[in-house]
Amino acid sequence: MTITNEEVEELRQLCPNLYSPDDAAFPDKAAPWSVWADRNPQYAVEPHDIATMQAVVKYLYSHKSIDFCVRNTGTGGSSATDVVLSMHGFKELHFDPKDESVIAGGGLAWGELDQLMDQKANGYGCVGARCTWVGVTGGPLVGGLSWLSHEYGMISDPQNWLDAEIVTGDGRVRWAAKEDPDLMWSLRGGGGNFGVVTRLKLKAYQIPAKIFCGVILVPYSSLQETSRAIAAFNKRPSDPKMAMHIMNQGTGAGQEDQGSKPGIVLMPIDFRGEAHARSEEGFGWAWKVTGAREFVAMETTLTGVNALNDTFKSYQGTNEFWLAAPLVSDIDDDMLVRMWKWYEDSYNLHPGFGKGSVVLLEFMQEAAFNSTSGPEATAFPHGRGQRHVLQTQLGCPPKSKTKAGGDSRELAMSRMSQAGKEMAGDAYLGEWHAGFLHEWSDLKEVYGPNYEKLKALKRRYDPENRFNKGVDLTEGRVTEGMTV
Ligand SMILES: Cc1cc2nc3c(=O)[nH]c(=O)nc-3n(C[C@H](O)[C@H](O)[C@H](O)COP(=O)(O)OP(=O)(O)OC[C@H]3O[C@@H](n4cnc5c(N)ncnc54)[C@H](O)[C@@H]3O)c2cc1C
């Protein structure tokens, strides 16, 4: 598709904030996370008030030859051949102490929201992404997981995401939960593509000022021992104040490439503080693994905890990058061993994967996927009986080739589509995190009992299927432009 000169001028009349690739600000408005996802858009348009947003959305929706996407941070791989609708004009935050809620602009990133909370609602925090660069809207539109999910559930759950101001393709604006509950339901993890969310009403929770977070480095030689220790930790009663990420050492952790058999990073997070984290009731076992070396140990605020992964941010716009995340119900003694084997096999097929690849076990507590009345409460059916997330990320320098001279993406897709079975065996039941889907993802499986209702609502709110990037419910598939 190609936008005509006449259409460009009409768009400029509606919204003078129109950027082209010659503008220095353009990458900030339009660069996707992975260079692979870049569709080389011609313009980025950025409304700064609701009336302009309504006019722009209506225009883009009705001019069917214009290919457009909605973008905040680009983490989700959002791109289009013609126009990027940038959300960066919507960055305000208002705190209401009476009902402990905030109204947040739909163009904030979670890191920006954390900082505004520190200024305007000190002591409070929202259930938001664990990475500062994820968009406040893009996250919950695909479900959304937080360090606070272990206690309060997914970002998109009704107790956390209270309401959404949304502009639909006809230019109409409404607060969905209040005025149109079906629309709100579809936004809760339904993949987006129902309209443009301009503001979110979020629950604010009082958060301890001193949250312990640590980084413990463990040598590869202790892989089996660590794997058993994590399986044992998984058997303990679920504690909503404790969370852990377990991943490979390497560039994702801000280190050099560690080869095909990398060491292990244990990242314990304890909302009860340092003394509890180091105790036997906490993560005491982690420091006792053979060869374990404490690399980071600090007490910090929620803002500080969420910034822990910032080493990753440097990948935006510099790497090719793909993610997929099977959900798993249990952790056995060999789970980590199989995860590292998957990494080793992937690395051996493409040594370029050493630049940016991560295999990550997001150790979740019961509440994360079980804080609603059931799978039908929100569009994303919440990992029915699943508990943990296996995140696979394969990244390599742009245009690099596999060891056999093949296509990097093709290999990444093949490795990722097998990841659940290879790593989790019977604990993998075909369910996936809705944030990282690909053309081989089966939307019927992802949305399970909610799939037909979601499709019907898509027909009601976007009859022309003009919001079609990523989860394309009209076609029943994931378009190439999704995630990364
Ligand atoms: C390295 C990495 C780490 C991540 N970590 C987390 C995490 O800790 N927790 C978590 O929950 N998720 C995480 N994610 C997943 C993330 O939530 C999704 O990728 C999400 O789609 C990103 O949204 P965005 O706004 O940042 O990206 P964008 O690419 O700008 O947007 C993604 C899609 O969301 C839609 N969208 C964005 N803004 C709007 C809007 N205002 N109105 C309507 N539609 C909109 C659009 O359809 C767009 O195509 C991570 C992703 C990556 C790559």
Q: For residue range 274-325, list pLDDT tens digits in order.
A: 999 999 999 999 999 999 999 999 999 999 999 988 877 777 778 888 999 9
Boundary of a domain, candidates 207, 227, 242: 207
CATH number at residue 405: 3.40.462.20
- With a pLDDT cut of 90, the percent of the chain lying above it is 87
Closest-CA residue, ligand 1 atom 9, reads 129
Task: Kindly state whether residues 237 and 113 are assigned to the same domain.
Answer: no
CATH number at residue 34: 3.30.43.10
Assess if residue 163 is contained within a domain.
Answer: yes
What is the pLDDT, as a whole number, of residue 226? 98
Residue 215 binned pLDDT confidence (cut-offs 50, 70, 90):
very high
- Radius of gyration of the chain, Cα coordinates, nearest whole angstrom: 22
Task: Kindly state whether residues 296 and 319 are assigned to the same domain.
Answer: yes
Least confident residue range of 27-31, 374-378, 476-480: 476-480
What is the pLDDT, as a whole number, of residue 483? 58
Closest by CA position to 370, among listed 353, 385, 390, 391: 385
- Burial code (b: 16+ CB inside 10 Å, e: under 16) for 153-173 equals bbbbbbebbbbbbbbbbebeb
Mutation to probe ligand 1, out of 130, 134, 196 (largest number of atoms < 8 A from CB): 134
Sort strands 43-45 and 83-86 into parallel, antiparallel or unpaired. parallel
Q: Average pLDDT for residues 219-226, to the nearest whole number?
A: 98
Assess if residue 453 is contained within a domain.
Answer: no
Give 291: exposed, middle or buried? Use CB within 10 Å, 0-12, 13-18, 19+. middle
Assess if residue 365 is contained within a domain.
Answer: yes
What is the pLDDT, as a whole number, of residue 482? 59
- With a pLDDT cut of 70, the percent of the chain lying above it is 99
Closest-CA residue, ligand 1 atom 46, reads 70
Closest by CA position to 245, among listed 192, 166, 305, 182: 305
Residue 199 binned pLDDT confidence (cut-offs 50, 70, 90):
very high
Mark out the alpha helices in 109-167 (DSSP H runs). Answer: 110-120, 138-141, 149-152
Predicted confidence (pLDDT) at residue 481 exceeds the cutoff of 70: no
Task: Kindly state whether residues 281 and 358 are assigned to the same domain.
Answer: yes
Mutation to probe ligand 1, out of 75, 247, 321 (largest number of atoms < 8 A from CB): 75
Assess if residue 473 is contained within a domain.
Answer: no
CATH number at residue 140: 3.30.465.10
C-alpha 135 – ligand 1 centre gap (Å) = 5
Closest atom of ligand 1 to CA, residue 467: 47
Closest atom of ligand 1 to CA, residue 109: 26
Q: Average pLDDT for residues 52-81, to the nearest whole number?
A: 95
Query: How many residues are given for the chain?
Result: 484
| Overall number of domains in the chain | 3
Closest by CA position to 188, among listed 476, 434, 484: 434
Residues in CB range of 145: below 8 A, 6 or more apart: 129, 130, 154, 155, 362, 364, 368, 389, 433
C-alpha 37 – ligand 1 centre gap (Å) = 14
Assess if residue 79 is contained within a domain.
Answer: yes
Decide if 454 contacts 379 (C-beta within 8 A): yes
Closest by CA position to 63, among listed 104, 18, 112, 10: 10
C-alpha 400 – ligand 1 centre gap (Å) = 26
Full domain range(s) for residue 13: 5-86
Residue 480 binned pLDDT confidence (cut-offs 50, 70, 90):
low
* Distance (Å, whole) CA 403 – CA 356: 17
Please report, to the nearest 10 degrees, the dihedral formed by the alpha carbons of residues 248, 251, 255, 261 taken in order: 40
What is the pLDDT, as a whole number, of residue 54? 98
Angle between helices 5-14 and 50-62 (to 10 degrees): 160
Closest-CA residue, ligand 1 atom 43, reads 196
Residues in CB range of 405: below 8 A, 6 or more apart: none
Task: Kindly state whether residues 393 and 290 are assigned to the same domain.
Answer: yes
Closest atom of ligand 1 to CA, residue 193: 47
* Distance (Å, whole) CA 350 – CA 448: 34
pTM for the whole structure? 0.96
Task: Kindly state whether residues 196 and 104 are assigned to the same domain.
Answer: yes
Mutation to probe ligand 1, out of 71, 364, 389, 462 (largest number of atoms < 8 A from CB): 71
* Distance (Å, whole) CA 369 – CA 138: 19
Least confident residue range of 3-12, 184-193, 308-317, 379-388: 308-317
Give 351: exposed, middle or buried? Use CB within 10 Å, 0-12, 13-18, 19+. middle
C-alpha 74 – ligand 1 centre gap (Å) = 7
Predicted confidence (pLDDT) at residue 112 exceeds the cutoff of 90: yes
| Tokens at 433, concatenated | 């995190």
Boundary of a domain, candidates 35, 55, 86: 86
Per-residue pLDDT reduced to its tens digit, 369-380: 999 999 999 999
Closest-CA residue, ligand 1 atom 18, reads 76
| DSSP reduced 3-state for 129 | coil
Q: Average pLDDT for residues 475-483, to the nearest whole number?
A: 77
Assess if residue 68 is contained within a domain.
Answer: yes
Boundary of a domain, candidates 180, 207, 234: 207
Phi, psi values for residue 300, rounded to 5°:
-150, 180
Predicted confidence (pLDDT) at residue 458 exceeds the cutoff of 70: yes
Predicted confidence (pLDDT) at residue 430 exceeds the cutoff of 90: no
C-alpha 312 – ligand 1 centre gap (Å) = 15
Mutation to probe ligand 1, out of 78, 136, 152, 359 (largest number of atoms < 8 A from CB): 78
C-alpha 134 – ligand 1 centre gap (Å) = 6
What is the pLDDT, as a whole number, of residue 383? 73
* Distance (Å, whole) CA 457 – CA 183: 7
Predicted confidence (pLDDT) at residue 1 exceeds the cutoff of 70: no
| Tokens at 379, concatenated | 């569009």
Least confident residue range of 20-29, 48-57, 72-81, 149-158: 72-81
C-alpha 432 – ligand 1 centre gap (Å) = 16
Closest-CA residue, ligand 1 atom 17, reads 139
C-alpha 353 – ligand 1 centre gap (Å) = 23
Task: Kindly state whether residues 82 and 105 are assigned to the same domain.
Answer: no
C-alpha 73 – ligand 1 centre gap (Å) = 7
Task: Kindly state whether residues 230 and 132 are assigned to the same domain.
Answer: no
Higher pLDDT among residues 183 and 312, named by residue: 183
Per-residue pLDDT reduced to its tens digit, 122-139: 999 999 999 999 999 999
Task: Kindly state whether residues 57 and 193 are assigned to the same domain.
Answer: no
C-alpha 75 – ligand 1 centre gap (Å) = 5
Predicted confidence (pLDDT) at residue 484 exceeds the cutoff of 60: no
Assess if residue 477 is contained within a domain.
Answer: no
Task: Kindly state whether residues 201 and 336 are assigned to the same domain.
Answer: no
Task: Kindly state whether residues 59 and 106 are assigned to the same domain.
Answer: no
How does the average pLDDT of the chain come out, rounded? 95
Q: Biggest alpha carbon distance in the chain?
A: 68
Assess if residue 469 is contained within a domain.
Answer: no
Closest atom of ligand 1 to CA, residue 481: 49
Residues in CB range of 71: below 8 A, 6 or more apart: 29, 30, 44, 78, 79, 84, 85, 86, 87
Per-residue pLDDT reduced to its tens digit, 461-472: 999 999 999 999
Task: Kindly state whether residues 238 and 156 are assigned to the same domain.
Answer: no
C-alpha 290 – ligand 1 centre gap (Å) = 38
| Tokens at 335, concatenated | 């789970």
Residue 459 binned pLDDT confidence (cut-offs 50, 70, 90):
very high
Residues with CB under 6 Å of ligand 1 are: 33, 69-78, 87, 106, 129-131, 134-135, 137-139, 141-142, 144-145, 155, 192-193, 196-197, 312, 323, 435, 469-470, 483-484
Task: Kindly state whether residues 336 and 368 are assigned to the same domain.
Answer: yes
